[in-house]
Each structure stands twice: as C-alpha cells, then as structure tokens.
Structure 1
Amino acid sequence: METLAHTFRDDGPGPWILLFPLFWAVVLIGGGWLLRRTVWRGRGGPGHDTPVALLGRRFAAGEIDAEEYRGRLAVLTENRRGA
C-alpha cells in the first residue's frame, strides 16, 4: 500500500501542507467577519436601541405621559421622513 510519503518521493508532503489549515482559518475568520458586518449588525443590546424604541420604553415605564410621548414621537418621525 502506497502512503502519502511515498507519493511525494519519500520527502513527505512538504511545507505547503500548512496551507490547508491556513485556508480554513481564513475562511472561518472571513465568515465571522462577514456575519458581524451584515447579519449580526442590527442585533445590539440595550445600548443599541433606536430613539423610537427608547421613547416607547420610557412611555411604557411611565417616565413620560401620553402628550409628551406623542410630541416627541412626532419630532422623531418628522426627522425620519425629511432625511
């Protein structure tokens, strides 16, 4: 039975064999980087809330009343439409 070492004239596979783990490392790191830049970007924690979501949370917690909520919401959505 012929082994891998015999296939390469008894010298072994050589230093180029290190390219296989390097290739997979690049693929995995690149995939993680790509996911972080695209899919996972919008999934932030509490520090990544939108202004409208933060305003809704404050209203739900009773920190602001309905009149203040509607006024601030109008300002936020007006800025969004104009942009």
Structure 2
Amino acid sequence: MTYWNGGWAWMTLMPLLWIALIGLVVWAVVRLTQHSAGRHDATDPRKTPRERPEEILDRRFASGEIDADTYSEARKRLAAHRPGPGDRG
C-alpha cells in the first residue's frame, strides 16, 4: 500500500516531466539547426555582413566625416590596391 499512498504524486508528475524533457530537446534541436543554417540575426555582430572598404568610404563621405579631396584620394588608393580579375589571394 505504500505505492498508493505516495505513488499517485509520481504518477501525476512523470508525464509532466517527460513533456518538459521532450520540449527541451525539441527547443535545443530547433536552436541548433537555425544556428547552423546561418540565419541572419541583426543583433549578433558576428553574423552581420562586413562592409567593403568602398562602402565605408562612401558612408563616411555622405555623413560629412571626410571632405571631397580626402574621398577622391582614398578612392584612388583603394582602386590601386584592389586585386584584378586574374589575381588570386
């Protein structure tokens, strides 16, 4: 009779524990598959695409951080150091 005196609580709680465990496993699998699929998350700076040097230069010129002469000179330097279509590395 000991089983029936305290056992009803376990019989009630065990399905809830299994549901919680299965839910945790499903949540973990979903999180891992989303992460490995490379989903873009704007809050994670590691996942944001890197700006090209020309885009940074254009943004700085547009915001007024640099003047036209500095912009032109920087554009020329970037063009001179940009690898050509046949260059690798």
Q: Structure 1 length normalisation: TM-score?
A: 0.46
More helix by share: 1
TM-score by length of 2: 0.44
